[in-house]
Amino acid sequence: MGFISDLKILYHMVCAKNNGVNHEQRLENFYSSQMDHYDDFRRRLLHGREQMMGLLPFSKGANLIDMGGGTGHNIEALAPRLNILNSVVIVDLCNSLLNIAKKRIENKKWGNVSTAHADATQFKPEFQKADAITFSYSLTMIPNWFEAINHAYSLLKPGGIIGVVDFYVSRKWVSKNNTKHSALTRAFWPNWFAYDNVFLSQDHLPYLQSKFQALNLIEKKGFVPYMFGLKAPYYIFIGQKPLESD
C-alpha cells in the first residue's frame, strides 16, 4: 500500500483500455493491468463487504456461491465460519482476478473453496441447489444484472439466502423505509462510475426487494479515495427466497 501504487491504480482506472469485443474481454482489459494492487485499493473503495458476509445466516454443511467473486478477498471475512460450510465457489468471468483467488485458496489451505470461470448469468454448480449466493460489487458490473438475479433465484433452494453489497442510487420517489438521494447524487455518481463500466442503478435494490424477503437492509455512503471527501452511496441487502417457492 502506498501513494505510488495508488497512482498506478488510478492511472489504470482512468487510462486502461476497458473496451473489447465482448464483456469478458472488457473485464480482462480493465483488470489485467491493475490486478497486483487490486485488493489494497478496493479495500478503501468497496465498503461494507465484510459486514455483508458477516450478516449471512449459515447452517452447517451449506453451499455458497460468490458471483463475481474476483480475487476471493471476501472469503477472508468468512474465515471464522468457513469450516462449517460444505463448499464455496468463487465464480468470475475474469481470469486475471481468478488467478489471484486460486493463489489465495492455496496459501490459506481452504480445502472447501474452489473457483469457476463462468458468467454469473449462466453458471451451473456441481451441487443441486445453493444455500446462499452473494454479489459483492459485481451486480453493477454485470450488464444483464436482472438475469443474474433471476439466475441466482433459480439456483437457490427455497429459504436460501442472497447477500448483496454494491453502489447504487435511489429512485426519485422511494417508499418510506428507503433512503432518498438528492438529484445531484442521482446524477453525479452513475456518470462518474460509468467511465469504468460500473453501472449504478436505481432498480437493483427494488428488484431484489420484489423477489426476496428482506432480512437486512443497510443504506449508507462511503468515501471514494482521492475524491476530495465525497462519499458514494452503497447498500447491503440480505434477502431470503420464499420458503414456499420452488
- Name the residues that contact ligand SAM, by CB under 6 A: 23, 27, 42, 46, 49, 68-70, 73-74, 91-94, 97, 119-121, 136-138, 141-142
94 vs 162, beta carbon nearer ligand SAM: 94
- Shortest reach from residue 46's CB to ligand SAM, in Å: 5
Q: Find the shortest distance in angstroms from Cβ 136 to ligand SAM.
A: 4
Alpha carbons 73 and 61: distance in angstroms, whole number: 22
- Cα separation, 229 vs 223, in Å, equals 6
Place of cell 458476509: 53
- For CA atoms 177, 178, 184, 187, give the dihedral sign: negative
Least CB distance to ligand SAM at residue 48 (A): 10
Query: Which residues fall within 8 angstroms of residue 38, CB to CB, at 6 or more apart?
Result: 9, 31, 70, 71, 97, 100
Of 51 and 178, the one with the shorter C-beta distance to ligand SAM is 51
Nearer to ligand SAM, 97 or 152 (CB): 97
Closest to ligand SAM by CB, 85 vs 90, is 90
Nearer to ligand SAM, 87 or 121 (CB): 121
Neighbours of 103 (CB within 10 A): 12
Nearest distance in Å: CB 180, ligand SAM? 25
Q: Which of 83, 99, 1 is nearest to 43 (CA)?
A: 1
CA-CA distance, 189 to 230, in Å (whole number)? 10
Q: Which of 46, 40, 43 has its CA nearest to residue 2?
A: 40
Computed over its alpha carbons, how large is the radius of gyration of the chain?
17
Least CB distance from residue 94 to ligand SAM, whole Å?
3
Asked if residue 27 lies in contact with residue 94, where contact means CB atoms within 8 angstroms, the answer is yes
Shortest Cβ distance from residue 166 to ligand SAM (Å)?
A: 9
- C-beta closer to ligand SAM: residue 154 or 213: 154
Residue 68 or 239: the one with the smaller Cβ distance to ligand SAM is 68
Can you say how many angstroms the Cα of residue 150 is from the centroid of all Cα atoms in its chain? 16
Cβ at position 75, least distance to ligand SAM in Å: 10
Cβ contact 47:234 at 8 Å: yes
